[in-house]
Amino acid sequence: MESPFRADILKGKVALLTGGGSGIGYEISYQLGKHGASVAIMGRRKHVLDSAVSTLRSHGIPAIGIEGDVRNRDDAVRAVESTIQQFGRLDILVNAAAGNFLVPAEDLSPNAFRTVIDIDSVGTFTMCHAALKYLKKGGQGKDSSSGGMIINISATLHYTASWYQIHVSAAKAAVDSITRSLALEWGTDYDIRVNGIAPGPIADTTGASKLAPEEILSKVKEAPLFKFGEKWDIAMAALYLASDAGKYVNGTTLVVDGGEWLSKPRN
Ligand code: HXC
């Protein structure tokens, strides 16, 4: 689907995306790139990164891949430094790396719980922390009205309670809290905007295929818009937040789910 945004809204900007090689993270990388940004994508799987980078480049998008795990502080710092080395600045950090699996709380080991918290929540904070020094400087080009910015990919699981997702629900609740705290502190001190996006059920993603597709489908049937979203929908929300269109938006987590989380089965 064609973008409703002008192709140069992110011209000259540099973005670093964790989990940027596949799924929602890749689509955001692609759309940021199509709208003028240079993109660095970080992930654990080299072959996924290589393939994503070559596709991005084939679309004329300046792109690099950085192998690393957001749970590792050294990897986080290296990803940021490599981005600066390659592109000279950092304006946009997107935290899209996540871990997930369905398991009843009774059968979930504390280590498995911690693993998802480590990836989603601690990983998000680690990346934000590592990027801060450059985000302070980012976005201060003469054409920009705002400082650097961060987008944290969240979920809607924790707005209510979700079966077999205690670990992810807790992790994403922490992500939303991190979004608000950093929006307050870094918005005040450094003019950095920090926002989140909470996708609903999105077709053609690891999340959708891992998380009992038939259960998701039955929920979607009761949702106001009655359909799965597309990765494109999430990328458009990211463009809105990352561009000057979102220059007064700070500390919010934008729900992009067609109203799915509001819905309950009809009696
Ligand atoms: C129960 C499991 C499990 C499973 C792993 N564990 N998979 N427990 N059911 N299916 C347990 C292990 O037994 C171990 O605990 C602990 O978790 C760590 O497992 P490892 O395999 O060592 O971890 P690791 O190799 O680091 O893998 C991380 C992962 C993996 C999260 C487990 O699935 C992963 O990296 N996934 C990334 C891709 C992904 O899931 N993307 C989808 C995101 S979708 P013990 O006690 O045995 O040591 C998403 C959407 C959310 O986030 C919202 C949806 C609506």
Q: How confident is the model over 146-185, as pLDDT tens digits? A: 579 999 999 999 999 999 999 999 999 999 999 999 999 9
- Give the pLDDT confidence score for residue 143 in this predicted structure: 47
Domain ranges of the chain: 14-256
Bridge partners of 14, per DSSP, are 38
**What pLDDT digit, counting tens, does each position of 77-123 carry?**
999 999 999 999 999 999 999 999 999 999 999 999 999 999 999 99
Superfamily of domain 14-256: NAD(P)-binding Rossmann-like Domain (3.40.50.720)
Residue nearest to atom 28 of ligand 1 (CA): 99
- In this structure, which amino acid lies at residue 180? R
Q: How far is the CA of 168 from the centre of ligand 1 (A)?
A: 10
**What ipTM goes with this model?**
0.94
- Give the pLDDT confidence score for residue 263 in this predicted structure: 87
What is the rounded radius of gyration, in angstroms, for the C-alpha atoms of the chain? 18
Contact present, 123 and 93 (Cβ < 8 Å): no
Residue nearest to atom 7 of ligand 1 (CA): 101
Comparison of pLDDT for 141 and 76, the residue scoring more: 76
- Give the pLDDT confidence score for residue 186 in this predicted structure: 97
Ligand 1 atom at shortest distance from the alpha carbon of 69? 26
- The whole-angstrom distance between residue 239's C-alpha and the CA centroid of its chain comes to 12
Pocket test for ligand 1, best of 100, 103, 168, 219 (most atoms within 8 A of CB): 100
Residue nearest to atom 21 of ligand 1 (CA): 112
